[in-house]
Amino acid sequence: MLRIALRGLWSRKLRTSLTAFAVVLGISMVAGTYVLTDTINKSFNTLMASARADTSAVVSGKSLVKNGATSDQPTVPASLLARVSSLPGAASAYGVVETESARMIDAKGDPVGPAGPPALGFGRDPASIGRDGAFKIIDGRWAKGPGEVAIDVASAKKAHVSIGDTIRVEGSGPLQSFRIVGLLQWGSSNSLGGATMAVFDLPTAQRLFGLGGRLSEIDVIAKDGVSPARLVAQIKPLLPPNAKALTVDEQIKEDQSQWSSFAKIIRYALLTFAGIALFVGAFVIFNTLSITVAQRTREMATLRTIGASRRQILGGVLTEGLTIGALASVIGIGVGILLAAGLSALMGAIGIDVPRTATVYAPRTFVISIVTGVVVTLLASLGPALRATRVPPIAAVREGAVLARRRSSRLRQIASGLLLATSLAVLGVGLFGSFDQSSQRLLTIAAGCALFFIAVALLSAYFARPLARIVGAPGSTFGGTAGKLARENAMRVPARTASTAAALMIGLALVTFVSVLAQGFVRSIGVAIRKQASADYIVMANDGYSTYSNAVAGRLARVPGVEKAVALRTDTVIAFGKQISITGFDPKTASSVYKFDWQEGSNASLAKLGGDGAIVTDSFAHKHGLGIGSPLPVQMPDGRKLRLRVIAVNKQPELIELLGEVTVSEKAFDAVYRNPKTTLLTYLRTTGGESEAVAARLRSALAVFPSVQVLTEKKAIDTQSSGMNTLLAMFYVLLGLSVVVSVFGIVNTLALAVFERTRELGMLRAIGMTRRQARRMIRHESITISLIGAATGIPVGIFLAAMVTTALSRYDIVFSLPVSSLVAFTLATVVAGMLAAILPARRASRLNVLEALQYE
């Protein structure tokens, strides 16, 4: 039986490889994701370990806030350095200042390096630098004293500068100029994922980054014979409460864990899309195998008459599935490795060079890829295999290849209906139920969606015929006889047409879903922002979400024409054991731009903000039972405790909340957050509203803050939306993969249909159909199938988006249809149908009429 299955596959090589291709794409993405992330991980880990080559122990500040959600980076007092270096076990110790916001600006005023990766800035003692593996000077010397900097070779090349030239750097304040005295590189790598590096001496860096009297970390080198653990034990008694000392190995592990948690997010995101492509691929395999089983009815029946049992028939078809799965996985892994190489080349091309020591091929990558590929294919072939077992032996002596009718069409109807109901219930629970962890919620929603897609695919067999009649109408009207026949052909086996279209339906539903949801978000963002504040101009970082220098608002307030400049500071604080957002503003001017919706208190309460007053949002107050006068203890990222007191409760929308759960006065905020770069937004009110003259003056005032932009309120809202558009474009590309898979499904179905109708096509050609008409007939059938996919997928996507919008109703997400996008999707579907038809149409038109008529 095994041999029969394998021989069968081999004798249908083209068909087998087309079928296998349905899984190849998904598996290649799985394999590619693992190879890429493993490789980058390994490279970063190696770099991070080598950077601390000579260090024995590291002293650094502790932050209670996770995920880098604070600009208040952990530091230790500089005074600790002298005490640590005089320890008996320490040979030497040096202080380090390190930040991720040292953007270099070239002569033309443009930022150096790509926007995504960090702009690293360091403060290092010239005497100690170069001892560890981190930095190597390539040309020139280390920076000594104010006004000097050493920068990385790649950045110097990008900015067209060399030793002796001037480069400007934006630290925590306005731009400052430095003379380049050296060119350096990090370890042996000339790239750190596109990050730029500027190294100053310690005092210069402390001043530039607003870290006076503080150090990011102290690196300690032990005396000979002193173990890192012993050194750490000696250091520990000296430490202030918010500092920690780790042996070098522990520290490296911590450095790496930060990166690897980021890599994990990327990995899971990519794997999600791979999963979708595999799900669609399963549909294609199911469909193709169903058709080939139907076409081989007589073969199966003959096997039964000569003694094959049902189990053996089942095994035969499953063996085919298994083989296709294994084959597809192996090819997929190969393609995935190429994909990973291509992706990292692409990243290099846009400036995010990935440091690569050597590509990592972990055994896990191969195991997961093969197991996934085989399991997906096997599951998909289970249905066709079971149907093959129901072929009665008597079919061996019957004319034609009519497969036994399904046991009960009514039973199937009921089962499909039940599945639909179940899927909706699961979706409902996922969307509206309560979960401890959001990952559980996401998994439930994903499972609900998958079931829903299957249910719709099953049910679509019942409305494929009327749908084909509708979407095939234009072709039938304008395509002549070929168009009419195409429509009839598409309606011939509705179940087959429906399940071919179902694969496309899934991709289209998801594309529609994200598109509708994104449109809703974009609309809602504007509404939410306008609801909360109004101003003539809004000042924000170029990327729209970074915080910037607190000096900006003061500078803008002095620009002629500006009446009020209200800055919103933001950071993270811990209250009731959770990380929440805290805002600081000037209570005297805040109400001139911010529209409070007081639940308790009034604008008059603002005056009571003072040093320990806090305004809380209504949802926060409700959750923790707070009211005016309630004490509100909070903890700073570095562990300091503050006792705040609620003076008012304000209601605000839950989407794009401009204020955090807790709002304090600017003075109180600045007293506890040391970083001078905590401003998120500055609202400007000008005399006479927007005017080009004021805008020009504002821009020139901001020339020394190149990372900050001034926008009209409308522009600011559009900027928020454009971020959404970038995300949307990425989703489209990744979901496009599933659409490609489903297009292969259409190719398969049509190719098999052409094979099946050989005699009929021969007859049509014999009675006068031209090659051109034959091609057109196949093409129209393909477009009809695609349009059925669109006609089911787009409503399904809209429905899912409506469900999610309802679930997010407390965020005031509006439901809004992106009509032009939906039209574009439909047109793209038609194009996809045309592409899918190329190969089968060519086959049909090249048919030898004589042979076709003799074909048995």
Partner 1 sequence: MSIDVSKKLATGSVTRDGVAVHATDLCRCYGEGDTAVNALCDVSIDVPTGHLTAVMGPSGSGKSTLMHILAGLDKPTSGSVEIDGTEITTLDDTALTKLRRKHVGFIFQFFNLLPMLTARENIVLPLEIAGVKVDPDWFDEVVGKVHISKRLTHRPAQLSGGQQQRVAVARALISRPTVLFADEPTGNLDSKTGGEILELLHDSVETLGQTIVMVTHDARVATIADRVLFLGDGAIVKELPETTPEEIQKAIQEIGRR
Q: Which is nearer to partner 1, 28 or 297 (by Cβ)?
A: 297
| Distance in Å, CB of 307 to partner 1, minimum | 4
Report the distance separating Cα 285 and Cα 288, nearest Å: 5
Q: Are 167 and 178 in contact (CB under 8 A)?
A: yes
- Candidate segments 1-9, 99-107, 486-494, 799-807, binder of partner 1 by CB under 8 A: 1-9
| Distance in Å, CB of 440 to partner 1, minimum | 44
Q: Which is nearer to partner 1, 312 or 579 (by Cβ)?
A: 312
SS3 content of the chain, % helix, strand, coil (to 5): 55, 15, 25
- Candidate segments 6-14, 377-385, 421-429, 746-754, binder of partner 1 by CB under 8 A: 6-14
Q: Which is nearer to partner 1, 114 or 393 (by Cβ)?
A: 393
Q: Which is nearer to partner 1, 25 or 317 (by Cβ)?
A: 317
| Distance in Å, CB of 851 to partner 1, minimum | 13
Q: Does 394 bind partner 1 (CB under 8 A)?
A: yes
Q: Which is nearer to partner 1, 9 or 559 (by Cβ)?
A: 9
Within residues 208-247, the interface with partner 1 by CB under 8 A covers none
Question: What does the DSSP 8-state code read for residue 533?
Answer: B
Q: Are 628 and 601 in contact (CB under 8 A)?
A: yes
Q: Does 396 bind partner 1 (CB under 8 A)?
A: yes
Burial class of residue 827 (count of CB atoms within 10 Å of its CB; 0-12, 13-18, 19+)? exposed
| Distance in Å, CB of 405 to partner 1, minimum | 15
Report the distance separating Cα 279 and Cα 23, nearest Å: 9
Q: Are 659 and 583 in contact (CB under 8 A)?
A: yes
Q: Which is nearer to partner 1, 6 or 450 (by Cβ)?
A: 6
Q: Strand pairing partners for 176?
A: 169
Q: Which is nearer to partner 1, 269 or 397 (by Cβ)?
A: 397
Q: Which is nearer to partner 1, 1 or 330 (by Cβ)?
A: 1
CA-nearest of 123, 159, 130 to 51 is 130
| Distance in Å, CB of 3 to partner 1, minimum | 8
Indicate which single residue of 392, 417, 554, 631 sits in contact with partner 1 (rule: CB under 8 A): 392
Q: Are 175 and 704 in contact (CB under 8 A)?
A: yes
| Distance in Å, CB of 310 to partner 1, minimum | 6
Residues touching partner 1: how many (CB under 8 A)?
A: 25
Q: Which is nearer to partner 1, 309 or 806 (by Cβ)?
A: 309
Find the Cα–Cα–Cα–Cα dihedral 653, 658, 663, 668, rounded to 10°.
Answer: 180
| Distance in Å, CB of 319 to partner 1, minimum | 14
Q: Which is nearer to partner 1, 225 or 307 (by Cβ)?
A: 307
| Distance in Å, CB of 14 to partner 1, minimum | 14
| Distance in Å, CB of 8 to partner 1, minimum | 5
| Distance in Å, CB of 738 to partner 1, minimum | 33
| Distance in Å, CB of 285 to partner 1, minimum | 20
Within residues 276-335, the interface with partner 1 by CB under 8 A covers 298-299, 302-310, 312
Within residues 11-70, the interface with partner 1 by CB under 8 A covers 11
Show the binding pattern over residues 342-381: x = contacts partner 1 (CB under 8 A), - = does not.
----------------------------------------
- Candidate segments 2-10, 105-113, 500-508, 624-632, binder of partner 1 by CB under 8 A: 2-10
Measured CA to CA in angstroms, residue 726 lies from 500, 508, 597, 826 at distances of 31, 19, 33, 22
Q: Which is nearer to partner 1, 257 or 309 (by Cβ)?
A: 309
| Distance in Å, CB of 741 to partner 1, minimum | 28
Sequence letter at residue 591: S
Report the distance separating Cα 286 and Cα 380, nearest Å: 5
Report the distance separating Cα 535 and Cα 513, nearest Å: 34
| Distance in Å, CB of 419 to partner 1, minimum | 28
Q: Does 3 bind partner 1 (CB under 8 A)?
A: yes
The pair of structure tokens assigned to 508 is: 């289209």
| Distance in Å, CB of 7 to partner 1, minimum | 4
Q: Are 284 and 324 in contact (CB under 8 A)?
A: no
Q: Which is nearer to partner 1, 1 or 382 (by Cβ)?
A: 1
Indicate which single residue of 174, 334, 393, 627 sits in contact with partner 1 (rule: CB under 8 A): 393
* Residue pointed to by tokens 């076709």: 852
| Distance in Å, CB of 387 to partner 1, minimum | 15
Within residues 677-716, the interface with partner 1 by CB under 8 A covers none
Q: Which is nearer to partner 1, 7 or 136 (by Cβ)?
A: 7
H/E run at residue 683:
strand 679-686
Find the Cα–Cα–Cα–Cα dihedral 395, 401, 407, 410, rounded to 10°.
Answer: -150
Q: Which is nearer to partner 1, 302 or 826 (by Cβ)?
A: 302
Q: Which is nearer to partner 1, 3 or 641 (by Cβ)?
A: 3
Q: Does 391 bind partner 1 (CB under 8 A)?
A: no
Q: Which is nearer to partner 1, 7 or 810 (by Cβ)?
A: 7
| Distance in Å, CB of 853 to partner 1, minimum | 17
Q: Which is nearer to partner 1, 309 or 722 (by Cβ)?
A: 309
Report the distance separating Cα 553 and Cα 679, nearest Å: 9
| Distance in Å, CB of 17 to partner 1, minimum | 16
DSSP string, 115-127: SSS-EEEEEE-TT
| Distance in Å, CB of 302 to partner 1, minimum | 4
Q: Does 759 bind partner 1 (CB under 8 A)?
A: no
Indicate which single residue of 1, 138, 239, 447 sits in contact with partner 1 (rule: CB under 8 A): 1
Measured CA to CA in angstroms, residue 764 lies from 481, 629, 777 at distances of 11, 88, 11
Report the distance separating Cα 459 and Cα 461, nearest Å: 5
- Candidate segments 70-78, 393-401, 596-604, 681-689, binder of partner 1 by CB under 8 A: 393-401
CA-nearest of 571, 521, 485, 481 to 805 is 521
Taking each continuous run of H as one helix and of E as one strand, the counts in the chain are: 24, 23
Indicate which single residue of 367, 397, 671, 827 sits in contact with partner 1 (rule: CB under 8 A): 397
Q: Are 328 and 285 in contact (CB under 8 A)?
A: no
CA-nearest of 249, 489, 259, 293 to 382 is 293
Report the distance separating Cα 263 and Cα 254, nearest Å: 14
- Candidate segments 65-73, 391-399, 680-688, 791-799, binder of partner 1 by CB under 8 A: 391-399
Q: Which is nearer to partner 1, 400 or 768 (by Cβ)?
A: 400
Sequence letter at residue 22: A
- Count of Cβ atoms closer than 10 Å to residue 197 Cβ: 24
DSSP string, 193-232: TT-EEEEE-HHHHHHHTT-TTEESEEEEEEPTT--HHHHH
Dihedral sign from CA coordinates of 182, 185, 188, 190: negative
The pair of structure tokens assigned to 819 is: 């009509």
Sequence letter at residue 279: F
Q: Does 400 bind partner 1 (CB under 8 A)?
A: no
Measured CA to CA in angstroms, residue 603 lies from 356, 570, 609, 684 at distances of 57, 21, 11, 20
Within residues 462-491, the interface with partner 1 by CB under 8 A covers none
Q: Does 856 bind partner 1 (CB under 8 A)?
A: yes
Residue 94 CA neighbour count, 13 Å, CB half: 20
Contact residues: partner 1, CB under 8 A: 1, 3-4, 7-8, 10-11, 298-299, 302-310, 312, 392-394, 396-397, 856
